Homo-oligomer: A and B are copies of this chain.
Amino acid sequence: MSESPPSASFAQIGDVLRHHQSFVLLSHVRPDGDAIGSQIGLGFALLAAGKSVRLFNEDGLPDNLAFLRGSERIERPPADPVDADVVIALDTATRPRLGAACLHAVSGVKLWLNIDHHISNPHYADLNLIHATSPATGQILYELILALGLPLPDESRDALYVAVSTDTGSFQYPSTTAKTYDMAADLIRRGLDVGTLNSNTYDNHPYRRLELLRALLNTLERSPDGLLAHWTLRESVRHDLALCAADSEGLIDVIRGIRGVQVAVFFEELPDGTSRVSMRSKDRRYDVCQIATQFGGGGHSLAAGIRMHEPLDAAKARVLAAIQQRIVEVSGDLQTAGKRN
């Protein structure tokens, strides 16, 4: 594998921000806390510095993040291309994940920045600030804002906290660093209300999410060795419960949390008869990104996904077989290693 190209420096990014006046900030489709939090976080810092800023997202603002102050500035992209000096893509591993309508809306803008923490990011902009060891794009932006001496208004403070909290599973994932905790401590000292913000983030699910959880638990299956567990969402359930995209967010952690389970899988039937597969692993030997790439998907070794152009039952059979195959290989490796010792 070739080495990744060098990341831009904070100073280079700072030069672009200083020498331009109008910015469009984008994030990925089906936006999560780090996507929206990064847009509000950097957006309000630039607004407070006197810049003109627009925040576009292909799918608009999800309900579950509407509590964030400043989130009313998140708009769906306008139909016609806009005038601006700079586009900043945030938390978006590939250009197409910004969405076709967003790409059209910024098609007239010449200069592109790309700020992200996904190691697979192919550096698709003019300047690319990619910190793959950062647990969240929100943490890169916090460091950038402080390093450049940009203002940190309350909207940015709260949004960057939520970005980092949601992308680390509330400061739990292995990606969490000492600096992540330092950042949270500093944001509290800047007046952040940790109880209210977390309550809005984590204790604010629509009732139908629990109905969904009940439906999913009724489909839960576990392999005889206990290493693999999965559940399935049928389109009929999505329809009956009038589900939104955000309703299932993070639910896969419920099965990942079972003792002994190394690979957790969420199978979804989509309205057009195709399928989506989300996978989580607890152990890098069961590299779910490697499984996903066999079917044209991608992600990280511990969290990956696939869009499959085939009906659910066929997709499910093929993916489960690939995972079982990997489990057999790992157990073979273990036996060989055992004999060697």
Listed in ascending order, the chain A residues whose CB lies under 8 Å from chain B are 169-182, 184-186, 188-189, 193-196, 198-199, 202-207, 209-210, 213-214, 217-218, 220, 222, 226, 253-260, 282
Contact = CB atoms under 8 A, between A and B. Distances in A.
Contact of A185 (B179, B202, B226, B254): B179
Given A179-B185, A194-B172, A213 B203 contact: no
Contacts of A204: 257, 259
A184 B206 CA distance: 32
Give how many copies assemble into the complex: 2
A195 B176 contact: yes
Given A170-B172, A171-B171, A210 B255 contact: yes
A171 B170 contact: yes
A206 B171 contact: no
A198 B189 CA distance: 25
A210 B217 contact: yes
Nearest to A173: B195
A170 B170 contact: yes
Nearest to A170: B170
Contact of A188 (B181, B194, B213): B181
Contacts of A256: 203
A180 B198 CA distance: 15
20 contacts: A169-B198, A172-B202, A173-B195, A174-B193, A175-B195, A176-B195, A179-B185, A181-B181, A182-B185, A199-B282, A205-B259, A207-B222, A207-B259, A210-B220, A210-B254, A213-B254, A214-B214, A214-B217, A214-B220, A217-B217
Given A210-B254, A258-B205, A258-B210, A198 B220 contact: no
A188 B213 CA distance: 34
A149 to B, nearest CB: 22
A188 B220 CA distance: 36
A209 B177 CA distance: 30
Contacts of A203: 253, 256-258, 282
